[in-house]
Structures are given as structure tokens and as C-alpha cells.
Amino acid sequence: MESIDQFFPFLNTPANIVITCHQKPDGDAMGSSLGMYHFLIQLGHRVTVISPTNWAEFLNWMPGVGKVINYEYNKIRAQEIIDKADIIFCLDFNILHRTKHLEMPLLKAKCIKVLIDHHEQPQEEAFDYGISKTSKCSTCEMVYDFIVDSGHADKINIDIARSLYTGVMTDTGSFRFPATSPSVHLMVAHLKKLGLEHTEIHSNIFDSALENKLRFTGFALLNRMEVLYEYNTAIMHIYSQDLKRFDIKTGDTEGLVNYLLTMQGIRFGAIVIDRDEERKWSFRSKGDFDVNTFARLHFEGGGHFNAAGGRSDDSVDETVRKFKLVLSDYRQDLNSK
């Protein structure tokens, strides 16, 4: 993978460009994709954002989201667009299989592939150009840097500002996680000067739940949470019948894992949710417990030091049993000061 500044000259010649991100895009994946979209169209490129799957409804206010193609629903059209692409931007993921069924089309595409991402251990050989910076709070911050460093700061408009703010805000936990560096606040100051209304964005993201989501949260905390005090760990497991009972949709479970870390003394929080094809784990930690390594070693996953995901083909009960078994090896790490 060549460095990202080697790619900058390609921006000057109008091209067919595809932007994609990880499956079930979150605020950062969708925000960085749309921020890049609103930048590239100003340079005269023909740009399409293709999401590997659907996304949470609370992202549907975002500028340009109506033009995003859901690969799972529009495979033929998406493939036609990929076949014509000169350049594919891969945003907010480190490994091609994070794009689910888009992995093979991406592997087969012969065009230039550009990575912009902040996850640990990227699959560098899969990309021609790119930048991977785990110190960055979000891919949205990296897209901001990309626009500025390529000499186009003047192109940052209100659509770009609203898109990029979304990912910066969601991936920093509203500016509380350690990666919230001075550069993040300087960037937000710039976006505010362009007229960004940040309270509206917080409200769109966090105050748009339906009653069933709150009832489900209460149910899960009461009935599906287990606190393992000897490991300073809390876990939650959600069966598919729980999701059906409360009519839970994509995005409704986002943030549930964070409740676990709000308990005094808890350093490791984990939730497993029965998605039809697999059991999906989310891991969160506070301080020096490395959930990226934990997810890689035990649950075919990865991510960041303090936030990662994983998967299993086992049943919910079986994967929870396995989790508890491997947890016993971390007793010392989770109890050290």
C-alpha cells in the first residue's frame, strides 16, 4: 500500500468513483462515506456510495443518504457500478471481509483501491494507496485530514461538515474517549464556523428512539445482564426471540454494551447478539485491557484497543460458555491496578 499523498494527483482527473464502508455502517462509516462523496462530486468525479448492507434508521437524515445503494438489495446495479469504477475508496474498515458479501466483488475489482481507516492491523496488501492511523478518533477525522492535506480545505461545505461531525461525535462517545485529541476539537471548531448546528445532529442520532427500543433496553438490563465481579466484567446476551419480541431493528442495539461500563469497577463489557447467520459480539473496555487482541484471539474479530467486535457460529449459550472459559485466563489482567 502506497502512502495516501501519492494518491492525491488522481483527484485532479474526473473519474468513476465508488465509496464503500463496513457492513451495518455506523455514524463513522456512513459519515466518512458521505463526507467523501460531497467532497469528490465538487471535483467533477462521478461518485456512488455503496453500503454492504442496510443501516440504522437514525442515520436517514444525513445529507445524500437517499442516494446510497444497499448492496444486499441491489446487487446487480451495484456490480455494474463497481465494474465501471476507476477508483474504490474503502472507509472505516481494516479487512475486506468486514464488507460481508461485497468482499469478493472488491477482491475481483481491478481498479485502484484506497484505504482510509483507523482500526488495528489493516490488510495492507489489499489496497493500492491508503492511510491507517489507529491514533485517529474516527475515519471522519481522517477524511477531513484527507481533504485538507490534498489542498482542498476550501471545498468543505455544510454537507461535508454535517457528515463528518456525525462520525467524529459517535466514534468519540460524544468527545469522551481518549482519542479525542486537540486536532478533533480544532476540526469541530472549523466545522462550527461553517454553520454546523451540532445540537440538531445529537438529537437526530440520540433522541430518535421508539418506545420499543427503550422497553427492550430495560428488559435486557433486567433479564440478560450478568456481572462477573471476580473479573470486573459484565456481559449481556440477547436471543433472537428477544429481538423479535420487541421488534428490534438494525441500530436499536447500538450503545447497549456501553451501559455495562457505566457500573463502578467494571473494566470489560461484552454483549453477544443472535443475528440470524451468526452470533455477533461487541467488546468494550476501560483502561489497559486490550479487547482488539481478545477479539482476534477468541472470536474471529478485531477493532480497536478499547472497542472491538467478533463473531461465532455457536449458539448464544455455547458462545457465552466459551467466553467465560477464556475469561478465566484474564483474571490477573482484569484485576491489576
Nearer to ligand 5GP, 162 or 304 (CB): 304
How many residues sit close enough to ligand 5GP to count as binding (CB under 6 A)? 15
Residue 309 engages ligand 5GP in binding (rule: CB under 6 A): yes
Nearer to Mn ion, 127 or 246 (CB): 127
Q: Which residue has the cell 475489482?
A: 109
Least distance CB 30 / ligand 5GP (angstroms): 12
Residue 308 engages ligand 5GP in binding (rule: CB under 6 A): yes
Q: Are 292 and 302 in contact (CB under 8 A)?
A: yes
* Strands of the 129-132 sheet, one edge to the other: 2-3, 129-132, 112-117, 87-91, 16-21, 46-51, 69-70
Least distance CB 98 / ligand 5GP (angstroms): 6
Nearer to ligand 5GP, 45 or 279 (CB): 279
95 binds, among Mn ion, ligand 5GP, none (CB under 5 to 8 A by kind): ligand 5GP
309 binds, among ligand 5GP, Mn ion, none (CB under 5 to 8 A by kind): ligand 5GP
Q: Are 121 and 73 in contact (CB under 8 A)?
A: no
Least distance CB 262 / ligand 5GP (angstroms): 16
One residue of 65, 85, 201, 307 binding ligand 5GP per CB under 6 A: 307
Distances (CA, A) of 235 to 220, 221, 266: 11, 10, 10
Least distance CB 151 / ligand 5GP (angstroms): 29
**188: how many CB neighbours lie within 10 A of its CB?**
22
Backbone angles phi, psi at 21, to 5 degrees: -150, -170
CA distance 248 to 328: 32
Nearer to Mn ion, 177 or 239 (CB): 177
Stretch of residues binding ligand 5GP (CB under 6 A), selected from 36-44, 207-215, 230-238, 301-309: 301-309
Residue 52 engages ligand 5GP in binding (rule: CB under 6 A): no
Torsional class of 32: left (φ above 0), alpha (ψ -120 to 50), beta (otherwise): alpha
Residue 63 engages ligand 5GP in binding (rule: CB under 6 A): no
Name the residue number minimizing CB distance to ligand 5GP.
Answer: 309
CA distance 210 to 214: 7
Residue 35 engages ligand 5GP in binding (rule: CB under 6 A): no
Q: Please tell me whether residue 132 adopts helix, strand or coil conformation.
A: strand
Q: Are 247 and 212 in contact (CB under 8 A)?
A: yes
**Residue 239 grid coordinates:** 436471543
CA distance 282 to 129: 30
One residue of 33, 48, 94, 170 binding ligand 5GP per CB under 6 A: 94
Least distance CB 22 / ligand 5GP (angstroms): 5
Q: Which residues pair with 88 in a beta bridge?
A: 18, 113
Least distance CB 140 / Mn ion (angstroms): 8
Nearer to ligand 5GP, 32 or 48 (CB): 32
Q: Are 56 and 26 in contact (CB under 8 A)?
A: yes
Q: Which residues bind ligand 5GP (CB under 6 A)?
A: 22, 94-95, 98, 119, 282, 301-304, 307-311
